[in-house]
């Protein structure tokens, strides 16, 4: 079995308002592959800490990739007059017990909205050398406002998933000039893909329908081989959320009447039969979101 977890950590800020990365680490303990969102570096609100580096240091037995969407200047001149290069960043992470043979950070479409905060979002694609096979895992975070923006991001994500193997990945080909393959050649991209993250959408939205197909009131999800499947529903979980405090509740953000399932685990058709279990940790308090767990056999 391989255990995945996805967690929008809200830059480590818990329900009590405290920033505590150690609490985040405790709440994802036991995962083989970890997808994180809202990991930031060099912001005053979190003490100018590079959270990606701090998380990597705490999980030192994992292979790590960080892909910022927002990436702006935070450099300064030191006492000696030299420039200290530093970036203020906000993005996604993937951590795994096995090597990440390929990493690509895809920037998703962004719209300039009239009033709401609009951030550059990204999809961090990795190829993980899990035992006896190779698996793509993507950590992503869609826009929090604007269905039109999320629709464009959903289209882009489908392209990334569908063309990942066809476009050859980060590099491809057989003819190399001297030196290019001394450290190893291109990795063959797998089709099997797990996409996890904060999609900021519910399963009755147009963008969800674009990614996963409609949900029939009797037959359930109508995913096709060209799209993605919602692992929560495929695993047999109830679409109704009830309350976020229910032991088997699927709400990943909010409580009571405001509870929503917006953090999802999506898989390609070749992984559907491998889904063993999907659950949400309703006891987690390290963020305003709750972790989503996926178990694949």
Burial (CB count within 10 angstroms: exposed 0-12, middle 13-18, buried 19+), residue 139: buried
Rounded distance between C-alpha atoms, residue 154 and residue 177, angstroms: 38
Rounded distance between C-alpha atoms, residue 45 and residue 211, angstroms: 34
Task: Quote the tokens at residue 145.
Answer: 């406002």
Specify the pLDDT at position 17.
Answer: 97
In 11-21, which positions are buried (b, 16+ CB within 10 angstroms) versus exposed (e)?
bbbbeeeebeb
Q: How many CB atoms within 10 Å of residue 243?
A: 12
Rounded distance between C-alpha atoms, residue 63 and residue 4, angstroms: 14
Task: Quote the tokens at residue 229.
Answer: 């499947």
DSSP the chain: -EEEEEEE-GGGB-TTS-B-HHHHHHHTTT-SEEEEEEEEES-GGGTT-BHHHHHHHHTTTSEEEEEEEEEEE--EE-TTS-EE--EEEEEEEEEESS-EEEEEEEEPP----SSS-----EEEEEEE--TTS-EEEEEEE--SS-HHHHHHHHHHHHHHHHHTTTTTTTS--S---TTTTTT--PPPPPS-EEEEEE----TTSHHHHHHH--EETTTEE---TTS-EEHHHHTT--S----TTSTT----B--GGG-B--EEEEE-GGGGGGEEEEEE-TT--SSSB--EEEEE-
Specify the pLDDT at position 170.
Answer: 86
Q: Where are the domains of the chain?
A: 2-171+185-296
Residue pair 112/120 in contact (Cβ under 8 Å)? The answer is no
Rounded distance between C-alpha atoms, residue 127 and residue 35, angstroms: 13
Rounded distance between C-alpha atoms, residue 47 and residue 153, angstroms: 31
What is the pTM for the complete model shown? 0.95
Domain 2-171+185-296: CATH superfamily, name plus number:
Endonuclease/exonuclease/phosphatase (3.60.10.10)
Q: Tell me which residues of the chain have a pLDDT lower than 50.
A: 243-244
Specify the pLDDT at position 20.
Answer: 98
Instruction: Tell me the pairing of strands 263-267 and 100-107.
Output: unpaired
Specify the pLDDT at position 239.
Answer: 83
Task: Quote the tokens at residue 134.
Answer: 């190779």
pLDDT digits (tens, 9 = 90+) for 69-102: 999 999 999 999 999 999 999 999 999 999 999 9
- Selection from 201, 195, 136 nearest residue 169 by Cα: 136
Specify the pLDDT at position 244.
Answer: 47
Q: How many CB atoms within 10 Å of residue 216?
A: 9
Specify the pLDDT at position 214.
Answer: 83
């Amino acid at each position: 079995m391989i255990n995945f977890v996805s967690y929008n950590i809200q830059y480590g800020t818990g329900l009590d308002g405290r920033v505590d990365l150690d609490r985040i680490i405790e709440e994802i303990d036991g995962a083989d592959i970890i997808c994180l969102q809202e990991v930031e570096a060099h912001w005053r609100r979190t003490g100018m800490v590079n959270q990606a580096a701090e998380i990597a240091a705490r999980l030192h037995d994992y292979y790590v990739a960080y892909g910022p969407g927002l990436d702006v200047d935070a450099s300064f001149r030191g006492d000696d007059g030299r420039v200290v290069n530093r970036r203020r960043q906000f993005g996604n992470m993937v951590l795994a017990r096995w090597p990440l043979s390929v990493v690509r950070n895809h920037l998703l479409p962004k719209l300039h909205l009239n009033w709401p905060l609009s951030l550059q979002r990204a999809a961090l694609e990795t190829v993980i050398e899990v035992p006896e096979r190779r698996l793509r895992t993507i950590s992503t975070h869609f826009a929090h406002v604007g269905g039109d923006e999320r629709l464009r991001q959903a289209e882009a994500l489908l392209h990334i998933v569908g063309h990942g193997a066809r476009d050859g990945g980060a590099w491809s080909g057989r003819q190399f000039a001297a030196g290019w393959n001394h450290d190893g050649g291109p990795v063959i991209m797998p089709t099997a893909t797990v996409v996890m993250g904060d999609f900021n959408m519910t399963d009755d939205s147009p963008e969800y329908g674009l990614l996963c197909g409609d949900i029939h009131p009797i037959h359930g999800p109508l995913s096709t081989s060209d799209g993605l499947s919602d692992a929560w529903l495929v695993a047999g979980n109830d679409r109704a959320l009830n309350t976020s405090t229910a032991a088997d509740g699927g709400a990943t953000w909010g409580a009571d009447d405001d509870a929503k399932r917006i953090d999802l685990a999506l898989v390609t058709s070749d992984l559907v039969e491998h889904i063993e279990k999907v659950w949400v940790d309703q006891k987690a308090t390290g963020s305003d979101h709750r972790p989503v767990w996926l178990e694949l056999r």
